[in-house]
Structures are given as C-alpha cells and as structure tokens.
Structure 1
C-alpha cells in the first residue's frame, strides 16, 4: 500500500467488476484502501439479485 499512497494522486478501487470508490489526495490511506478493496461499506455486497431468484 505504501507505493500507492506515495505515488498516486488518485486511486480507483474495483469490486465485483465495477469501480466502487475513488480516493483522491489525502483520502488515499492504508485504511481507506483496505476498506474499499474489501467492500466494507457494503456497496453492492450480498447475493446477486435477479438470476435464479
């Protein structure tokens, strides 16, 4: 994570094939990167709807 924090001005975090979060400037922290990568905020989490439901 140190390389991303030190080198990037902006980081796009992908989850389940889509951009789920954009971190810019001071928002780019180890905690924010891990939370976003694990989708801790729950955006789009859970079982997929529609297929076989």
Structure 2
C-alpha cells in the first residue's frame, strides 16, 4: 500500500516493485501462452 510520505525511500520502493510486478506478469503470460506470444506482447508494450 502507498503511504502519505513521498520521500526517497518510497520512491526507491516503487522503482524496485514495478520491475518485479512486470516480471511476475511476464512469467504468468509465458507459462500460459508460451515464449513466442510473450515476445510479441513485450514488443507491443515497448512500441506503445
């Protein structure tokens, strides 16, 4: 959960939690759809 304090520690936590969240989503998609679909999805997100 987000706290009211927007100090450096909160900013660092958001920076480190976001890639982890993306990795979890990618692993979930990769297990369900396969490597090729994940690659296409990643390319779509990058170009968007």
With the length of structure 1 as denominator, give the TM-score of the two structures. 0.31
TM-score by length of 2: 0.33
Structure with greater helix percent:
2
> Which has the larger Rg?
2
Q: Whose RCO is larger (CA < 8 A, sep 6+)?
A: 1
Structure richer in strand, relative to its length: 1
